[in-house]
Amino acid sequence: MSQSAAHNLEPRGGPGRRTVELPASLPLAPAPPRHAGSAVVHAHHGEIVQGVFYSADGTLEHGLVTLPCPLFSARARFHARPTGPLAVEPSDRGRALKAARMTLDALGRTGWGGSLRMEGNVPLRWGCGSSTTDVLAAIFAVCDAFGTQLPREWIARISVAAESASDSLMYGPERAILFAQRLGTVLMDLGAPLPPVRVLGFNTEADRGVETLALPPCQYSPWEAEAFRPILGLLRHAVERQNPVLLGRVATASTLIMQRHRPKRGMADLLRLASECGALGVQVAHSGTVVGFLFHPGARSEADVGRARAGLHRLGMDRTWDFSTDSAPHPAGLP
């Protein structure tokens, strides 16, 4: 790597740059509010890749590509009122409340209040996007109450402003996006969905997790920053050809780099088991505790998944789940 590149190893999305410019307000007047707005947002299962990537102007950005997961979701209901406070239940969903306020402002309803009710089954602190699903469900529910939508770019910026770092769930599973999670911008639209894969998921820490939003950005070495170039290239080929084998290689490569920063317990045994059972690769929640073995989609992998599940049981990981990414639904409320 060149000396000049080495001097630019602090990504723009690092600790020194956390301010996100919010949209002023929607240029079109929204329709009058209905009685209530609602939305459902499905979670993800960590990432296929997460690291730093060179942008067109040669600077580094933190970025990620999430793996959609239909098993977990957040639901929001919002009742708008022309005056009065804005409140949320449960009261600990402060990020959803903050996002709802920002959405009202973006819709030109700065003085409005209302009640926001949040529900869902997204595991907390596993790295499955519990915060982002809450925030997005709140944004979509507020928009739904006014019978309107916001541009996805605006939704992304509101999400990052509400929670400091966000996943790319606002873009839905139909197009794979390399997303700058601390800036709320798209670094690269890969032009198609991720190749479909079957995922055998589990938590390396039983039901425990980590406070993902409290984690600082990883400080990647110059070697690692350079390594993400071919990884991204391989991902582009995987998406273009809809090739799950290449996708598995991308996931494992990113997992191995992340293991140097936020190691998962027993990863050496997990990689060996995945290989023995015919898995295409191993993906992780880079800021969480879940891991997924990737297999060919459909029934052809049934026996391999069964052997992997038995192997995980021998390693003390009894709780597993199984899903296919091509069944991941589109988030409700998106244009």
Amino acid identity, residue 261? H
3-state secondary structure of 206: coil
Q: What is the pLDDT of residues 80-134, one digit of tens each?
A: 999 899 999 999 999 999 999 999 999 989 889 999 999 999 999 899 999 999 9
For residue 211, pLDDT over 90 is answered with no
Q: Which range among 9-23, 102-116, 138-152, 252-266 shows the weakest confidence by mean pLDDT?
A: 9-23
Cβ–Cβ under 8 Å, residues 26 and 107: yes
Cβ–Cβ under 8 Å, residues 160 and 120: no
Question: Cα dist. 14→60, 68, 107, 191 in Å?
Answer: 10, 25, 30, 27
90: preceding bond cis by omega (within 30 degrees) = yes
Task: Tell me the domain boundaries of the chain.
Answer: 36-324
> Residue 312 class from Cβ within 10 Å (0-12 exposed, 13-18 middle, 19+ buried)?
buried
Q: Which range among 57-71, 96-110, 197-211, 244-258 shows the weakest confidence by mean pLDDT?
A: 197-211
Kindly report the average pLDDT of the chain as a whole number.
88
The secondary structure of 77-110 as a DSSP string is EEEEESSS-EEEESTT-HHHHHHHHHHHHHTT-T
Beta bridge partners of 294: 199, 281
Q: By 3-state DSSP, what share of the chain in percent is helix, strand and coil, each rounded to 5? A: 35, 25, 40
CA 197 to centroid of chain Cα atoms: 17
pLDDT band at residue 10 under the 50/70/90 scheme:
low
Cβ–Cβ under 8 Å, residues 137 and 74: yes
The pLDDT of residue 240: 97
DSSP H or E run through 133: helix 130-145
CATH of the domain spanning 36-324, picked from 1.10.10.60, 3.90.226.10, 3.40.190.10, 3.30.230.120: 3.30.230.120
DSSP H or E run through 131: helix 130-145
3-state secondary structure of 159: helix
The residue with tokens 């409140």 is 87
pLDDT band at residue 1 under the 50/70/90 scheme:
very low
Cβ–Cβ under 8 Å, residues 267 and 207: no
Helix axes 152-163, 130-145, angle to 10 degrees: 130
Q: What is the pLDDT of residues 172-197, one digit of tens each?
A: 888 899 999 989 999 999 999 999 99
DSSP H or E run through 72: strand 60-81
Average pLDDT over residues 287-309: 93
Average pLDDT over residues 24-30: 59
Average pLDDT over residues 33-37: 77
